[in-house]
Amino acid sequence: MFANYMLPTWIAASFLALAAGAIGYFTVIRRSVFAAHALPLSAFPGGAAAVLTGIDPMIGLLGFAFLGVVFVQQSSRLGPKDLAIGLLLSSFLALGALLLSLTGAYAPAVYALLFGEVLGIPHRELLPTAAVSLLVLAVTVLSFRPLLLQSAAADLATICGINRAGMEWLFLGLLAIVTATALPVVGTPLGFTLLVAPAAAAQRLSAHPARAFLISIALAELLVWSAIALSYWSNWPLGFFVGTLGAVLFVVLRGGGLLPSPSGIRARLSRRETSWHHGAGPNSGTRPDG
């Protein structure tokens, strides 16, 4: 399980879980699960274009992931955001299918882009994966408080002077980076599961934002490590264990009735509304009365 050929798998998956657990927390709070599903698929034609033209796949994936963000942001001005995301999903999938049909390796390319090659990660991909994952984690931590306030109480965030559009661009940009980086490694289903399942379960474990954020990262790591180990021992697909374990984790916590609802996040912010409105911003560690 810890043989030399498995080490890149452990390292890459661990770094990706750090970033996915961090940005996944805000994905769940903002109810942007549909976007987390659509953006990896918006990067799909970028990977297909890279296969067709012979350029670095990461350039194509990141480029089209950011095109997806721009598409969603601009299209949402014309109608509901869910409609914009649905249009993104259908149009970019169609484009990806067209580009892949022009290549000479249709079936292998589809499998690699949709399901990743977690057991075939070259050592040269480890440094970029680690750097991107740590960058996403650092930016998320540095912008934690304003991003949390804008995600959970948008009107209050506006009162406190937080740029709503800026936070939206920041969130979707970080989400695009994570999904584009994860796509060639773990594929679309695994990346989506790592973004959603640990964060949803973490909110069942704690209503305290910072604590739930850390739990989300820890559960993402636990989920991917368990999946790799079970896949190695059983010779079953890694994606099966990531998806199944993620679903079981959330269902047990939600259905068991043992844990409180995470609605305390908004309650905490509501209790601070008066103090922030009358003197202290969301990044201030002081109360308005000193």
**Domain residue ranges of the chain, discontinuous segments joined by +:** 4-115+125-277
Alpha-carbon torsion angle 234, 236, 238, 239, nearest 10? -140
Q: In the prediction, which pLDDT does 215 show?
A: 93
**Do residues 245 and 225 lie in contact, with contact meaning Cβ atoms separated by under 8 Å?**
no
Kindly give the confidence (pLDDT) of every residue in the chain, 290 residues in length, as a single tens digit, with 9 standing for 90 and above. Answer: 666 767 888 888 899 999 999 999 999 998 888 888 788 778 878 877 887 888 877 888 888 889 888 888 877 676 677 787 888 778 888 888 788 777 765 556 556 666 666 666 777 778 888 999 999 999 999 999 999 988 888 788 888 888 888 898 999 999 989 988 887 777 776 778 888 889 988 888 888 899 999 999 999 999 989 988 888 888 887 777 888 888 888 888 766 544 444 455 555 555 555 454 445 555 544 433 43
Please tell me the number of Cα atoms within 13 Å of 202 on its side-chain side. 32
Q: In the prediction, which pLDDT does 264 show?
A: 52
Residue type, 246: G
* CATH level 3 topology of 4-115+125-277: ABC transporter involved in vitamin B12 uptake, BtuC (1.10.3470)
Give the integer Cα–Cα distance in Å for 186 and 177: 14
- DSSP H helices, 102-234, are 106-115, 126-142, 144-152, 154-159, 164-205, 209-234
pTM value is 0.80
Interior angle at CA 201, CA 197 and CA 205, nearest 5: 165
Q: In the prediction, which pLDDT does 267 show?
A: 54
Q: In the prediction, which pLDDT does 290 show?
A: 37
Q: In the prediction, which pLDDT does 260 show?
A: 46
